[in-house]
């Protein structure tokens, strides 16, 4: 889609869309969440986000390695892992603060338990240690430890995917097959401590890496097999949508998402191929250029993810509280849901714009300071004549 040295407009656009969907999907009463991917497929925004994370990581690593060196790229991703871990701690702290506010305002919702605040009141120091050691991961912060681990693995995965893509793909498949028993070796106070088993979800991440470093050729896209593949993918996607809409009576068990079940992979693959064809046709690029705000959200992914978790927690709690007060009845619940959706979207758009401008200003100041240092005239050091050894103080003479 793009050269290795440039960002992909389509990827940033999809990341922005996914971040918006993650925010509204975690708002009970959201109207827009009734039309997002999880309603029509056996996968959701998580698969898309992890796949795009692998794609973007491969793009960033190869660009930095080409422009500077492999060691510089490795250092950057080690630093990135630490940044994500700090973001996880910050998000977990915000979840605890949110739980404290819910208890203070006497808003009794399931979100209160998810924030781990009641557990914090029982054993504050123990819980803080468990959070720092990844043994417990409060609501909506649980995806970040997995990303921190993936960032550490990027310097190994990307070169392998470049040189030996078959080895990278089959190695990832073997790890995915052993993901459930390997989960026992991760730190955790209970089996569901890791909502996303990194041994399973690495398959989605590695697939994204391979999509970047081993792109599908134009010849393949133009061939007959690609058209047959598109028809089959559409048929699979429509079949799954029919099951989700008309036959599924209850949500699938959580372990299917935790361990990235085969059904979720097949569902994502069908949707992803159809979208890839739309990208190849140029439709997504034209849409992205008309929605630059969404692209900006995708470019400021980490800060927008943290903000989205907070916004969704606040809005979800507010809507649940209104339901308790009897204000959330038809048709008012539709209106309230749309208002909550609008607040979430506008908040992320505004934050992304603010953060992008802030980063641009910092970069401009740094560039200006560098230019000023380069162009400033050098003042020659004052030459001092050596003082003879026999020269003494005039007062001594």
Query: From the CB of residue 254, how many other CB atoms can be counted at a distance below 10 Å?
Result: 10
Residue 133 exposure: Cα atoms within 13 Å on the Cβ side: 11
Instruction: Find the length of the chain.
Output: 397
Select from 71, 7, 63 the least CA-distant residue to 296: 7
Higher-confidence residue of 54 and 317: namely 54
pLDDT of residue 382 exceeding 90: no
pLDDT tens track for 161-183: 999 999 999 999 999 999 999 99
CB 198 within 8 A of CB 149: yes
CB 52 within 8 A of CB 8: no
Q: Distance from CA of residue 72 to its chain's centroid?
A: 23
Residues contacting 225, CB < 8 A, separation 6+: none
CB 305 within 8 A of CB 53: no
Residues contacting 397, CB < 8 A, separation 6+: none
Least-confidence region, from 5-9, 154-158, 229-233: 5-9
Residue 170 exposure: Cα atoms within 13 Å on the Cβ side: 3
Q: Please tell me the distance from the alpha carbon of residue 397 to that of residue 391, in angstroms, as a whole number.
A: 10
pLDDT of residue 350 exceeding 50: yes
Q: Which pLDDT value is given to residue 394?
A: 45
Residues contacting 23, CB < 8 A, separation 6+: 308, 309, 311, 312, 344, 345, 348
Residues contacting 268, CB < 8 A, separation 6+: 41, 43, 47, 48, 51, 204
Select from 284, 378, 309 the least CA-distant residue to 12: 284
Share of the chain above pLDDT 70, in %: 89
Higher-confidence residue of 283 and 380: namely 283
pLDDT tens track for 182-207: 998 888 766 667 889 999 999 999 99
Question: Nearest-5° angle of CA 295, CA 296, CA 301?
Answer: 100
Phi, psi of 29 (to 5 degrees): 95, -5
pTM over 0.95: no
Which tokens hold the place of 162? 């470049």
Q: Which pLDDT value is given to residue 17?
A: 97
Select from 178, 197, 38, 26 the least CA-distant residue to 114: 26
Cα–Cα distances in Å, from 225 out to 229, 230, 253, 378?
6, 9, 36, 66
The helix/strand count (H/E) of the chain reads as: 18, 0
pLDDT tens track for 206-243: 999 999 999 999 999 999 999 999 999 999 999 999 99
CB 209 within 8 A of CB 158: yes
Q: Please tell me the distance from the alpha carbon of residue 218 to that of residue 301, in angstroms, as a whole number.
A: 30
């Amino acid at each position: 889609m793009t050269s290795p040295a440039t960002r992909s407009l389509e990827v940033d656009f999809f990341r922005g869309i996914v971040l918006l969907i993650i925010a509204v999907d975690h708002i009970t009463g959201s109207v827009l969440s009734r039309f997002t991917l999880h309603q029509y497929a056996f996968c959701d925004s998580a698969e898309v986000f992890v796949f795009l994370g692998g794609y973007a990581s491969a793009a960033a690593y190869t660009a930095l390695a080409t422009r500077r060196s492999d060691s510089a790229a490795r250092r950057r991703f080690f630093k990135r892992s630490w940044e994500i871990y700090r973001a996880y701690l910050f998000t977990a702290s915000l979840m605890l603060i949110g739980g404290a506010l819910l208890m203070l305002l006497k808003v009794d919702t399931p979100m209160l338990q998810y924030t781990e605040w009641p557990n914090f009141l029982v054993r504050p120091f123990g819980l803080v240690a468990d959070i720092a050691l990844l043994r417990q991961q409060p609501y909506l912060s649980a995806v970040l430890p997995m990303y921190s681990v993936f960032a550490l693995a990027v310097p190994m995965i990307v070169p392998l995917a470049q040189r030996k893509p078959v080895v990278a793909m089959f190695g990832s498949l073997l790890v995915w097959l052993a993901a459930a028993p390997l989960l026992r070796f991760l730190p955790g106070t209970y089996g569901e401590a890791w909502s996303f088993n990194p041994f399973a979800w690495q398959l989605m991440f590695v697939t994204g890496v391979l999509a970047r470093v081993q792109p599908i050729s134009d010849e393949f896209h133009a061939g007959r097999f690609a058209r047959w593949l598109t028809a089959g993918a559409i048929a699979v996607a429509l079949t799954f949508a029919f099951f989700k809409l008309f036959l599924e009576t209850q949500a699938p068990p959580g372990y299917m998402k935790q361990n990235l079940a085969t059904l979720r992979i097949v569902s994502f693959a069908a949707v992803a191929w159809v979208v890839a064809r739309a990208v190849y046709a140029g439709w997504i690029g034209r849409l992205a250029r008309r929605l630059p705000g969404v692209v900006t959200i995708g470019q400021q992914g980490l800060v927008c993810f943290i903000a989205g978790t907070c916004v969704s927690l606040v809005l979800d709690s507010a809507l649940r509280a209104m339901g308790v007060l009897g204000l959330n009845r038809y048709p008012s619940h539709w209106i309230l849901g749309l208002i909550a959706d609008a607040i979430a979207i506008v908040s992320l758009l505004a934050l992304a714009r603010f953060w992008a401008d802030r980063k641009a200003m910092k970069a401009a100041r740094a560039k200006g300071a560098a230019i000023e240092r380069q162009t400033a005239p050098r003042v020659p050091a004052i030459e001092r004549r050596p003082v003879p050894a026999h020269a003494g103080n005039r007062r001594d003479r």
